[in-house]
Amino acid sequence: METSVRAHIEAVKNGDVKVDEFIEEVLEKCEKIQSKYMPFITINKKAEATSQKGKLAGLPISVKDSICTEGIQTTAGSKILEGYIPPFDATSVIQTKREGGIIIGKTALDEFGFGTFSTNCAYGTPKNPNDPTRACGGSSGGAGCITAAADFPHIAIAQSTGGSITAPAAFTGTVGITPTYGRVSRYGLIDYANSMDKIGVIGKEVYDAALLLSVISGYDPLDSTSSEEKPENFTSYVGKDVKGMKFAIPKEYVSDTTDKKVVAGFMKGVEKLRSMGAIIEETSLPLTKYAVSSYYLIAIAEASTNLAKYCGLRYGLQQPIVGDFDTYFSKVRTAGFGNEAKRRILLGTYARMAGYRDAYYLKALKVRGKIIKEFKAEFKKYDALIAPSMPILPPKFTDIDKLTPTEVYNMDILTVASNMAGIPSLSFPIGKADGLPVGFQIMGDHFTEGKLIQIGSSLEAK
């Protein structure tokens, strides 16, 4: 069954694949992968072929469990939404089904996206197929896990707020595309931080990720933040060369805070690009040092607002109503939210309180504006910025347990700035160090996903 996405879709269209039998076999494989690596929260045992036509004809697609799927439990990785069955599909899921994609399950994530290693999921932690003692990255860890582990053609719909596609792609050795904010509709996405949330994709190859991004992109009247930018066939950029293109390496991204083995792997990718005729220089993004603190102030302030609706009345976790409303709400939220969600609710609420809003939240928004301008200035000079995807190799779970919350937050240093700015990025597996994947990150100006795919596919072909 080990075949490429492109070859599988072609075979389905030619009638060479009995899709019902194929999906049955895929679901059996998913059960075995689940018992070993735990990438899913829910496997869609009722998955069936809806069409043998379309751009994704007969292709298995997994969906991050923070994205609504009609008739399939959607929990956002939290006990407070256990048992919630959405009566509708997210726009990205509708578009996927329309093109013949088959939803095989909902993948694990940190609760509401709150994490860097997918260790904050209430339903189990996905394990890295490269080494099960190590993390897959977060928060789209399940998406990266099933993509790396599957021996069948598959693409994952994932989501990012501060690096939640880049991190698992880097740690699992897969290709992750985080699109421009607004490129893909957020309708049907369970919010983390509205001003930064983006639905994207993870695939085994650049072509795979480009294909699914082409399908789910486009304006959606149901999402006021979706862009009217014309959708593109991103697969048309695959195979184009990079000769004469100009890239820059931000020196802050290859500093002492980034593992030397990761930097060494990244530099191999740099040399590949040079050998293909690309021009590469060093640049500086001095506001990088403010990115993590600014990001978390904005993100947790928005998250605490979004989580206020989970009170045990409309959907999700409920308990017998005893006492007044405050007592009931507190009881449900105490039982339903995990430790990291509670931490972010408290910090976010504090940051929005009278007397602190100006000092923290609004100041962070001003820094964000300056970071956007800093990126924009660079893209006037360069086609793209390149850097390692993550500052470390996939860590062992035993090492993660020793980290403080602040140390975990600082792991996002190479991803939060681009997410705050709303620009697209692509993480590509450039090689391995100590047998573990090293991610190569490419960042571009708004709506230049095609250019990133061009660069990534050039590295893939080299």
> Mind telling me the catalytic residues?
64, 139, 164
On the 0-12 / 13-18 / 19+ scale of CB atoms within 10 A, 224 is: exposed
Picking from 138, 195, 198, the residue whose alpha carbon sits closest to that of residue 166 is 138
State the helix-helix crossing angle for 206-216 and 449-461, rounded to 10 degrees: 160
Cα–Cα distances (Å) from 129 to 36, 110, 142, 199, in that order, read 9, 18, 11, 24
Cβ(409)–Cβ(391) under 8 Å? no
Helix/strand/coil for 53: coil
Name the E strands within 278-390.
279-283, 384-388
- Angstrom distance (rounded) from CA 39 to CA 149: 9
Helix/strand/coil for 364: helix
Picking from 424, 386, 23, 37, the residue whose alpha carbon sits closest to that of residue 201 is 424
- 255-270 burial, b at 16+ Cβ within 10 Å, e below that, comes to eeebbeebbebbeebb
